[in-house]
Structure formats: C-alpha cells, structure tokens
Amino acid sequence: MTYLLVLLILVGLYIILASSFDLVIGHAGLISIAHPAFFAIGAYASGLLALDLGWPPLVAIPVATLLAAASSVLVSLPALRVSGDYLMIASLGFQLGLIELIKNLQFSGGSGGLSNIPPLVKGNVSPLTYAGLVLVSAAVVVWLIRRIMRSDYGRAVTALRDDETAAAMLGRDPIWIKVWVIALASGIAGYAGALYAHYFRFVTPEQFDILQSAALLTMVVVGGIRTTWGPIIGALLLETVPQLITYLNLPPNILGPAQGLLFTTLVLAFMFFRPSGLVSGSAAWRGSEPLEVVNVRRS
Amino acid sequence: MTSQFRLSRRSLLAGASAAALPMGSLHAAGTPFRFGLTLPLSGPQALYGSDQILAAQWAVADINKAGGVVDGRPLDMLVLDTQADPQIGIQMANRVVNAEHLPVFVTAWSAVVKAQAPIANDSKTVALVVGANSPNVAKLGDYVYTTYPLADVDLTALVEYLYQKMGKRRAAVLFVNDETGVAGAQIYRDAFKKIGGTIVASETYDNKATDFTGAILKVRASNPDTIHIQSQVSDTPQIVAQMRQLGLNQLVTSYAAIYNPEFIKALGAAAEGVIVTSLAPDAKDSPKVAAYVARWMKEKGRAPNGLPYTQYLYDTPYLVADVFRAMNKAGMAMTGENFRTAMMKVHSFELPLTGRTNLLATHEVKKPVYLMQVQKGAWVKIATMG
Amino acid sequence: MFEWPVISQILWTSLATTSFYVLFTAAFALVLKVNRFFNFAQGGVMTAAFYTAYAAVQMAHLPGWAAFGLALLVSALLSTIIELFGFATLRAKHASVLFGFIFTLMIAQFVAYTAALLFGTWTVTIFPSMFYPVTLVGGVAVSGWDVPAIGSAIGCLTVLFGFLRFAPWGQSMLAVADNPDLAGLYGIKTKWAYLMAMLIAGALVTVGMFLYGSRAQVQPMTSFDLMLFAVVATILGGIGSIGGAAVAAVMLGLVQNASILVIPSQWQGFLVYAVLFVAIVFFPRGVRLPERRARADATRQAPSNTSEQEG
C-alpha cells in the first residue's frame, strides 16, 4: 500500500512539474528548459533552511518557492533581452552550471547529496497524508494555471506567443510578461521540489540534469501541449508505464535502455504524427516565426 | 558522484523496475526466513551489481542445500533492482519495509544507502551495507550497519605500509570530486600526516574530466615520492597513463575498487608497480575462495567483476542466516528491532569467503587489509596488514 | 607553479586536446549557419561514430583505418536521415525552435540508449591501449597522439574553409545560409546544400570522436558533455561565424586547462558555464574585434524578423 502511495506522490509531483513546464514552453512558447533547475533550487533551499537554520519546513517551503521564482529572473531577464533563442542556451547553461555549483559547495552536501532533511512535521507525516497533500497541491496548480490562462494576463501571454510584434504594438511590455510567466512556473517547480525534499529527505545534484528536462518534455509532448489534462496524462504515463514494462520480463541489462528507447520513440512519433499529443489541444507546434529566428551574421 | 554513467543515474523515468527474484528452497522446507537485497541489477553499475547479486544468490542456494537456516526452514532472499539510483533505492526500500515487512535488507552504493537510511531508521529495519566505503556510512543512523570495511580501514593500512616499509615521506593525492574521492582523500591525508609524513600536493578533478594534465603537473611540481589516486574505477587507467606520459614515474597507489583485472588490461606495462588494497582473502589464501573462483570460471567462463565485493556479498546471507538462527533460538519475533539486537549480541561471525567478521558498536567492521601490487602483469599480494 | 616548463606543458597539451573540441564546434557552427538548427542531434552522430569505430576495432578486429571508414559511413547515414526526415519536415511545417530542440535532443538520446543497449554503459576506448610513445621536446612531453591530433584538426579545418571559400558547392552553401529563398531563386538546390552541410558536419565529428576515443574513455552519454563545449564556443565565436567558433573553441580549451594555475581544480568544470553566462549577458553576438564590428555594422541589412528587436 505504501508502495502505491509513494508512486502517487511521485505522480503528483510530476503533474505539478509538467503543468508548470507546459506553462512556459506551451502557453508562453518560451524555450526555457531549465525547469528541473528550479525544482532543485526549491528542494535544496527548503532542505537547507530546515536542516542548517532549523526553520520549520512549513515555513521553509514557501520561502523556497519564492527563491526559486526569484532565481529564474536571473536567467530569463538577461537572456530575453537578447532573444528567445538565447533563452534556450542560457537556461541549459544555467541548469548544468547549477549542478556543477552544488557539486562543489560543501554546505549543499556536495556531489554526495544532501541527506537527513527534516520531515514536514516533527515525527513525520504518514505517506497517506503526504500523498493527499501532494495531490491536492497538484489539483490546485492545474486549476491555477487554467484560471490564469483564461484571464486577461493569460490572453496577453497567448497573444505574445502567437505574434510578438503585434502584441508589442498593443502596448504590453513583452519581456516582463515573459519574465513573470517563467517566474510563476519556476516558483511552482520550486514548491514541488520542496515537497519532494521533505518526503524523501535526500536530494542529489544529478537528479536535476538534462535527462529530467527530457522527461518533462516527454510528458508535455506526449500528453498534449497547452491542454489542462495533457501534462496530467503525460505524468501518469511516464511514471506508471515503466512499472508495466517490468512485467515483460526483459533481461535486466536491457531493461533500462529499453525503457529509454520506448519513451524517446514515443516522443518522436508523437511529434511527427500527432503533434497535439494524446489530449488534443490547439494547433500544437507551429512556431510564430518561420525559421529565420537566428540572427545570422555575415562572416 | 558514485555512479559513472549519467544516463541511468537519474533514470529518465523515476519509476522502479523491480525484478523480484525470490530464492526458494531446494532441499529445505518450511516457513522461510526472508530478507531483502537491493542492488543494481541494471543500469550503469550493473557490471558490478549483477555479479554481486549472483554471488548472494549462490550463497542462499548453498545454505538451503545444506538444510536451510534451522529446522530445515529455508532462507529466502527478495532481490530488488536499484539501478544504483537513490530514488529507485528509496522505492525498493519502501517495498521491503512496507509491502514485504522484512526485518533486514542488504544494500550498497553510497548514494543509494544515504537515501535509504531514513527509511531504515524510521521503520526500525536493519540495513546491512556491503561495499559502500564512505566513512559516513557508519554514521547514517541506528539501523544502518556496514559489514564491509570503510575507507579508513584500508587506507590507514596502506599509509602505514608506505611509510614504514617503503620509507615514503612525501605524498601527493589526486582525487575525484565526489563522495568517495573527497572522503577517501581526506582519510589518506590525515593518516599520512599522523604517521609523520608530509602531504605535498592534494588535487581534485571533476568526475567528467578526461584530461588531467593540469592536476598532474601540479602534482609533479610538488615532487612527491608516492602518489595516491582516489578515483573512479573508469578514470584510473587514464590518469595513470597520462601521469606516465608526463614523466611521473613515482609509485602509484589506489584503493580497493581498483583491484581488478581490467586495470592491468587497460594499462598494460604502465600498470607495473601500482599498489592497491584488497579487503578480502584471495584464492591463494583460502581454499574456499579458490573453489569459489573456480566456480565462476566453470559457470560463467570468467572471474567476477570486483571479486572481493562479490566475496562479501556471498558471505552476507550466511551472516543473516546466523542471526536468524540466534533469533529463532531465543524465540524472538522476526522484527527489525529484534534482528538488530540479536545481530549485535552475536556480533562475531565466521564467514566462508572473508573469514572472521566482528561487527563493532560503531556500526562498522575492521578486517585485515591485503596489499596487492602489479608485478609482471599480474596482481601479487605483497603484505597483509591488521 | 608558474615556471615555464609547466606552463609550456599545459599549453601544449591543451592545444592538442582542443583538436577534437574544434572539430565538434566547427560542425555545430556549420549546421547552425547553413541549416539554421541548434543541432543537438550531433551528439547522437558522435556517439554512433564512436561506437562504430569501437565495434570495428575491438569486436570485429579490423584495422584502424577500416574502423574510421565505417564510422564515416555510419555518421553519414545518420546525418542524412536526420536532415532528410527530420529537419526537412520541420522546415516544411515551419516548426518552432523549441520543436527543433526537442527533436534533436530526442535523437541524441535515442542513439545514446541504443548504444547502451548494444554496448552496455561501461566506459571504453576505441583501441585497447591509451598509451602513446612520448618524446621530450625541450622539456615538454609530446605524446604520439598529440601531433596527429593537431594535424587532423588543422587539416580538416583547412579543407572546410577552402571548400566554403573556393568550391562552387561551398559557396552555394554559404548562399543558402545567407538567404535560402534568394539562393533558391538563383537555381541553387537548397536541399542539397542542407544535406551537404550535415554530411560535412558528420565527417568532422567522426574525426573528432576518433581522436577523442583513442585517448579517453567514452560511454553513451559522453557526447552530451562534449556538445556543451561546442555550444558555448559557438556562441562566443558569434552565431554565423564558423571561423569565430573554431577560434573560440581553442581559446576556451586553453583557458579551461590553464585555469588550473589560478583556480582550484574542482572549479574547472564550472568555468565553462561561467564563461557561457558572461557570453550571454555581455557578448551575445560573440566576442568581436573592433574592426570586424565596424565592418559588420556598415553592412548590416534591414532588421530581420527576430525577437531581438524588442528590449
């Protein structure tokens, strides 16, 4: 039973991550792939505040959420000032650089990871309660994102994604809207990270590398970009299908790569044959500009 | 970082791949005594993990063939795959504790062990760590014990030998920037200074590095008479190769994980003279070990990867069986708390492939250290310490 | 530590080891310039090339040159598939950059997982031995690997630039890079230009991986780390300038290796990211020399339809 509950907790956390990631790459059309980095910041910040400074986790978690949101501005603002493409590289560099940084700093536990993070409340929380907390959070996050995208702000974000020049002409400052969206999504990711930290009580830097980004991408693409249910389906699939695969009784040394192959193939297949994902949304992947996006300098 | 390969280190899917292989009885019958084994069956460390699992499975089969634990009741081992990934390790520990309610499980790989520790402690389930060598392992909590000597055991013995028998006074240390490297290098440095030597250089390198020129040159400039490498198994040949190519011909030493035939294969002549530690007796010391190695050759056509580690994994079911026997004799219920009590009461075990093992109150063990040197293309034992 | 013998050794070995970095960077920069994709799938081509060579030498026991030839063949095949079935489709659908990124990343992962499946995840080298004879040249240890490596890199780059500047096909490629529609109007077959760029890039990385894999150990994910270097160098050199990228690769390699003289060795890995951050914030258009900047400004055309117009 606990085993299933732990699985539920993971699914819930990934729903939060996938939905907030969809906010950035789907709704806002921004190529920031450093989502796991903010998951990491949330996890580490909350863990360290609770472990080293003795803060009660119930206080540390919101603070970590804000920290994650704030740190996203460090990445998005300078990069967006240049262009959207640079955001991709900047976010990639930020994520990998963060991992390097954590590995080299003593107080974060170095590459061995941060262990013995205090549980949510003294004396620990039962898995059932925690699963409930995570699932409720996931529901709130999904609802929140849906509300936001249907609000004026959401319409501005959509307009920005579809045609930036026009949106700019309408008087909205595009850069700040983008920065805010990323900050919101990153804060949510940080919240998920903090929740993770106080349940599993152990985090390592490699948990947040580019493979996690790829996993989130898979969830969003296969689930359905820019839909409410897409990231949820994606998260569910990616967490439960591996369980089913184990019943195929594959030799263990090909099990890992086989799972990876299955999912990369899935993403590629979906991208080309059903770009809108399992849960159909709007015209999924068409970019706003043709491929002239790169400012190519004559050399 | 404990694991080398980034692909599965954080598996793309944080799901758990559980290959549950309960080892049933062959000749024994009755309610089995059950325990868990969480090791990497797949993934980057599978090369070592799968051989270790096999060794443990042989042990369980051998115990059951000989009549089981007691009263003909068999030993039953639940094997779960961790892929050397901490998150999967947590899943597996949860399964052991909450789904299967086992009193004890065997585990390895420092990062996984660290992640599983809170689960073991909170649920009062004994975690027997076999093979992780970071000294922190002994401090992970009331229910975490190691039956494999930690880094301070073999490195201290090595230092003693270098200083007293080989007259080395100026040591340089080159270490990988991860848990094993940092902790091991610290122990070596402290031990060497304590015994009266000087540490002339201490350089670390990133675990993804492939060019070590800078660090090696810094070491060269410090003019050591011996160089200790606390590295990942896959780096060590490259480091030694680059060292020799940059003109460093001093004695090179390393730790137990490097004691592997692959090391000599990778380096050829450049491996000559390298000294490493080993924490298990080899075939020449013990007829049981010789028979064990012969069995590997017969059934698999090769020596096991990380022979000493597999020896410890072979012995662990015997240790577990001994404790179960003691618990049964005292009429104890099969809980983790009781297992722990019984284990510490017995505390001294005579094990087939690694000899006498004494579990200390500090949650660790001290064993003899064997120093192995590459001579004429083969590993040769040059000393036994402690 | 700052004595000449040490510095010269670091300089020499850095120069030698930047040989493969330069090739990876030039390939990445070329595809970015001509095909206009951030081709992270290059990592997949690199992995495929390496494992082909490895399998040829260590499993089929073929000589080195045959292994190299096979590796070239495999990388050409994979590059062709990526261009004809991947990039061409993305172009036709006017797909966004994100879509392209996901595609290339997934290709790289697919190849990595396949390699893990076929060859396992332990590290291996192309040849059984990593040892090369060493000669001392004025106190500097020169390994038998160094000179062929530098030679190969220089040779490949010379051929590349010669091709781009003098060969008709090279010039066509540059024309397509500049303005594909216009080039098409002039009768240049853009499809062939795109394919050729990918094939050349594939060849460059094959040489690079052959060099790398004969000196260092590789596992299926190694190419991801190598790619990052190429990306940073390309940005430093200025997107669109292959020459700039190549120079940046050499400089970055030298800086990274020489940094051990001033910073603790554990921070060397972090240095690349720090440089990337500085590059993005202060030199987004690449580190440009004053005269080139003046020339570029003078010939700047009407603003293109990019998002850099705001802010």
**Domain assignments of chain B as residue spans, ordered by start:** 6-149+288-353, 152-278+369-385
Q: Looking at the complex, does the CB of residue C245 fall below 8 Å from at least one CB of chain A? A: no
Question: Contacts of residue C228 in chain A, CB cutoff 8 Å?
Answer: 92-93, 96
Residue range B152-278+369-385 forms a domain whose CATH class is: alpha beta
C187 interface with A at CB cutoff 8 Å: no
At A89 the pLDDT is 81
Please give the mean pLDDT across all residues of chain A: 83
Q: Is A102 exposed, middle or buried (0-12, 13-18, 19+ CB in 10 A)?
A: buried
Answer yes or no: do B42 and A212 touch at CB < 8 A.
Answer: no
Listed as ranges, residues in chain B with pLDDT below 70 are 1-28, 43-44
How far does B335 lie from chain C, in Å, by closest CA? 39
Percent of chain B with pLDDT over 90: 54
Question: Do the chains contact at B205 and C266, CB–CB below 8 Å?
Answer: yes
Residues 172..201 of A with a Cβ closer than 8 Å to B: which?
Answer: 200-201
C303 falls in which pLDDT band (50, 70, 90)? very low
- Subunit contact C121:B7, Cβ cutoff 8 A: yes
Instruction: Please name which of B101, B138, B144, B102 lies closest in space to residue B121, comparing C-alpha atoms.
Output: B144
Residue A201: which of B12, B118, B134 has the nearest Cβ? B118
CB contact under 8 A, C97 and A254: no
pLDDT of residue A246: 64
Q: What is the mean pLDDT of residues A109-133?
A: 82
User: Scanning every residue of chain B, which has its alpha carbon at the shortest distance from the alpha carbon of A6?
Assistant: B91
- Which one has a higher pLDDT value, C124 or C306? C124
Among residues C91, C39, C57, the alpha carbon closest in space to that of C239 is found at C39
- A256 and B87 within 8 Å at the Cβ level: the answer is no
pLDDT at residue A295, as a whole number: 42
Residue pair C50/C126 in contact (Cβ under 8 Å)? The answer is: yes
Whether chain C has a CB inside 8 Å of the CB on B205: the answer is: yes
Residue A97's nearest CA partner among B169, C273, B375, B284 is C273
Dump pLDDT digits (tens) for C219-272. Answer: 888 898 899 889 889 988 887 889 999 999 999 888 888 887 788 777 877 888
| Residue ranges per structural domain of chain C | 4-221
pLDDT value of residue B15: 34
Q: In the structure, what pLDDT confidence band is assigned to residue A167 with cuts at 50, 70 and 90?
A: low
- pLDDT band for position C310 (cuts 50, 70, 90): very low
Higher pLDDT, A133 or A295: A133
Rg (CA), chain A: 19
Beta-bridged to residue B348, according to DSSP, are B358
Selected for mutation to probe chain B from A8, A206, A243, A247 (highest B CB count within 10 Å) is A206
State how far the Cα of A35 lies from the Cα of A19, in Å rounded to an integer.
Answer: 11
- What count of CB pairs under 8 Å joins B to C? 113
Q: pLDDT band for position A87 (50/70/90)?
A: confident
A103 touches B at CB < 8 Å: yes
In the prediction, which pLDDT does C85 show? 92
List the domain range (segments joined by +) for residue A77.
Answer: 2-207
Asked if the domains B6-149+288-353 and B152-278+369-385 are classified in one and the same CATH topology, the answer is yes
> Closest partner residue to A85 among C95, C97, C299, by Cβ?
C97
Q: Quick check: C183 pLDDT over 60?
A: yes
pLDDT at residue A285 tops 70: no
Amino acid at A178: K
Global pTM reads 0.83
Q: Is the pLDDT of residue C306 over 80?
A: no
Give chain A positions within 8 Å (CB) of C285: 295, 297
pLDDT average, residue stretch C134-151: 88
Q: What is the tally of structural domains in chain A?
A: 1
User: Among 3.40.50.300, 3.40.50.2300, 3.30.420.40, 3.90.1150.10, what is the CATH number of B6-149+288-353?
Assistant: 3.40.50.2300
Taking the Cβ of residue B270 and every Cβ of chain C, the question of whether any pair is shorter than 8 Å is answered with yes
CA distance B5 to B208: 10
Question: Angle CA(A75)–CA(A80)–CA(A84) in degrees, nearest 5?
Answer: 110
The Cα of C36 is separated from the nearest Cα of chain B by a number of Å equal to 28
Residue-wise over C279-305: b if at least 16 C-beta within 10 A, else e?
bbeeebbbbbeeebeeebeeeeeeeee
Say whether C134 and B218 touch across the interface (CB within 8 A): no
Of A110, A214, A255, which is closest to B42 when you measure between CB atoms? Answer: A255
Query: What tokens does B177 get?
Result: 């920037």
Of B44, B214, B221, the CB nearest to C257: B214
In chain A, the DSSP E strands lie at 114-115, 202-203
Beta bridge partners of B27: none
C58 Cβ under 8 Å from any chain B Cβ: no
Compute CA C69 distance to the chain's CA centroid, rounded to the nearest angstrom: 19
pLDDT of residue B22: 43
Picking from C98, C109, C308, the nearest residue to A295 by CB comes out as C308
Helices (H), chain B: 6-9, 46-65, 86-94, 110-123, 151-160, 179-195, 213-221, 236-245, 261-267, 287-300, 307-329, 336-346
Residue A113 amino acid letter: G
Q: Which of A31, A210, A299 sits opposite C97 (nearest CB)?
A: A31
Give CA separation, B157 vs A21, B191, B279, in Å. Answer: 52, 9, 11
Asked whether the beta carbons of residue C9 and residue B213 sit closer than 8 angstroms, the reply is: yes
Q: Are A211 and B6 inside 8 Å of each other by CB?
A: yes
Best residue in A108, A210, A211, A236 for a mutation probing chain B (most B CBs within 10 Å): A211
pLDDT at C149: 94
pLDDT band at A18 (very low <50, low <70, confident <90, very high): very high
> Which residues numbered 174-233 in C keep a CB inside 8 Å of some CB on B?
212, 215-217, 219-221, 224-225
- Please indicate if any CB of chain B lies within 8 Å of the CB of C303: no
